[in-house]
A = this chain, B = another copy of it.
Amino acid sequence: MSVPMDDRALQYGDGLFETLRVERRRAPLWSMHLQRLLNGCERLRLPGPAPDALWSAVCDEVPDDASYVVKLLLSAGSGPRGYARPEPVAVRVYAQAAPLAETPALRSAIWCELRCALQPRLAGLKHLNRLEQVLARMECQDASADEGLMLDHEGRVISATTGNLLIRCGGRWLTPRLDACGVAGVARRWLMQSFPISEATLTKAEVDTADCLVISNAVHGPRQLLRLAGRDYAADLEVTEWRRCWRQCFEADPA
């Protein structure tokens, strides 16, 4: 599959994406992916495609009952030169599937030097402007770390490079607020609906003193982070239970 040169996703990152886990042609978290994507369309003032058309685009890429990761990319379509969108906008939807790999353990993480810029107009969205994540990911590679935690411009903890962060402090589960930057993950939302987890403004010091750290994304679900900046964390029973529920969600037959 290829994309025309004048596609605004290529030219300006003018678009959104979703990365979803599909097992046996089912995506149990589809409604949350769909909701985030359509909310993103609204906030970026893009016409939202029909939900059925989006689901068909996913299904068309899934050849059999095996497990896949499907990436759905919604672009603002073609336009003439310049930042101004054409009127009307004709969005394009691209989908691509890859076999689901086994979930890798998160053995180590660093604190990234790169700070997330504050941009409330884009906060929470899974939009296509991802240079910050690309640069932060390089820091992880340089340090041979599996993940990297990111602070924002003002020193608040935001997320990992490929997922959201959840921490347990004094028996309470907390996850960073995402009203000025960051991506509001679908797995984060699923976890917050399934277990008692609160949003909070978190500092690096609070994360450093937490007794359990979890990184979540919609492909691999919640995973415990086993080492951060030299400190080890023992495997945790509560996270094991979260993972059991996550697996069950994908394995259960639809009611």
**A8 to chain B: which residues have CB within 8 Å?**
134
B13 & A3 in contact (Cβ 8 Å cutoff): no
Say yes or no for A122: interface residue by CB 8 A criterion: yes
**CA–CA, A12 and B162, complex, Å:** 13
**A17 to chain B: which residues have CB within 8 Å?**
11
Say yes or no for A35: interface residue by CB 8 A criterion: no
**Distance of A245 from chain B, by nearest CB (Å):** 25
Contacting chain B: which of A76-84, A186-194, A224-232? Answer: A76-84
Say yes or no for A98: interface residue by CB 8 A criterion: yes
Query: For the complex, would chain A's binding face be called helix, strand, loop or mixed by DSSP majority?
Result: mixed
**CA–CA, A10 and B115, complex, Å:** 23
A13 & B128 in contact (Cβ 8 Å cutoff): yes
Residues of A within 8 A of B (CB): 1-14, 17, 19, 44-45, 69, 71, 73, 76, 81-85, 94, 96, 98, 114-115, 117-119, 121-122, 127-138, 140-141, 153, 161-162, 181
5 contacts between A and B (CB under 8 A): A11-B73, A12-B130, A12-B131, A84-B141, A121-B135
Known: A127-B131, A131-B44, A134-B85. A1 touches B5 (CB 8 A): yes
